[in-house]
A = this chain, B = another copy of it.
């Protein structure tokens, strides 16, 4: 699809550190509310404070880090926030799914099928993101996709806490299949309903985790 001739920009240290630190937070390697001491992170990551500070600013804007009284700390997440995030995701994703179903051509259908095929195996998180990306991009909702990605970062930490992940994965695949079928069939209302059902279930799981 996209050409492989693109010259990839040399990876900046900042990007590497950003990805690493974001991953560590999402994976739960830092406790919620834990202070992020700049110099500690420098030692941990082997980079200078300039880089760490810029990365922290970005993560702050993403909502993964918040500034405490004395410095940055890992953002806390309660059910009130998660609920709001799921509400917003419902609006954005339902809208995107409906429009995507309405305008899907054969190429989009193929992309959806391919993305869905990737979900079953390992790396489910990335594959799921890819599935949604196809839908948002096909609907022409790039900006909404940016927002959803950012919101997702804030609640992805919950996944690390989910112990009974096997049944979730299965039901997740079922839900995704429903969404994909509706999109491929051009059934906008059905796609929207499938998205709502999926997110309602996900929110219920998040609620159980967060209110415990």
Whether A53 sits at the interface, judged by CB under 8 Å, is yes
Query: Are A140 and B84 CB-contacts (below 8 A) given A53-B54, A58-B61, A62-B61?
Result: yes
- Within A132-161, which residues are at the interface with B (CB < 8 Å)? 140-144, 146-147, 151
- Which 3 A-B residue pairings sit nearest by Cβ, starting from the closest? A61-B61, A84-B143, A57-B57
- Within A13-42, which residues are at the interface with B (CB < 8 Å)? none
Whether A88 sits at the interface, judged by CB under 8 Å, is yes
For this complex, into which size category does the number of interface residues on chain A fall?
Answer: 20 to 34
- Within A48-68, which residues are at the interface with B (CB < 8 Å)? 50, 53-54, 57-58, 60-63
Partner of A58, one of B57, B92, B95, B146: B57
Taking a contact as CB atoms under 8 Å apart, the answer to whether A144 and B84 are in contact is yes
Query: Dominant SS at the A interface?
Result: helix
Once bound together, how far apart are the Cα atoms of A174 and B3, in whole Å?
51
Q: Closest CB of chain B to A26's CB: distance in Å?
A: 17
Whether A202 sits at the interface, judged by CB under 8 Å, is no
Whether A125 sits at the interface, judged by CB under 8 Å, is no
B-chain residues with CB within 8 Å of residue A141 when the two chains form the complex: 84, 87
Taking a contact as CB atoms under 8 Å apart, the answer to whether A143 and B92 are in contact is no
Mask of A67-86 contacts with B, CB within 8 angstroms, 1/0: 00000000000001100110
Partner of A88, one of B54, B87, B147: B147
B-chain residues with CB within 8 Å of residue A140 when the two chains form the complex: 80, 84
Query: Are A84 and B142 CB-contacts (below 8 A) given A91-B91, A147-B147?
Result: yes
Mask of A101-141 contacts with B, CB within 8 angstroms, 1/0: 00000000000000000000000000000000000000011
Once bound together, how far apart are the Cα atoms of A54 and B58, in whole Å?
9
Once bound together, how far apart are the Cα atoms of A61 and B84, in whole Å?
21
Q: Closest CB of chain B to A145's CB: distance in Å?
A: 10
Known contacts A57-B58, A81-B143, A84-B144, then 9 further A-B pairs from the complex at CB < 8 Å, ordered by chain A residue = A50-B50, A53-B54, A63-B146, A80-B140, A84-B140, A84-B142, A87-B144, A91-B95, A147-B147
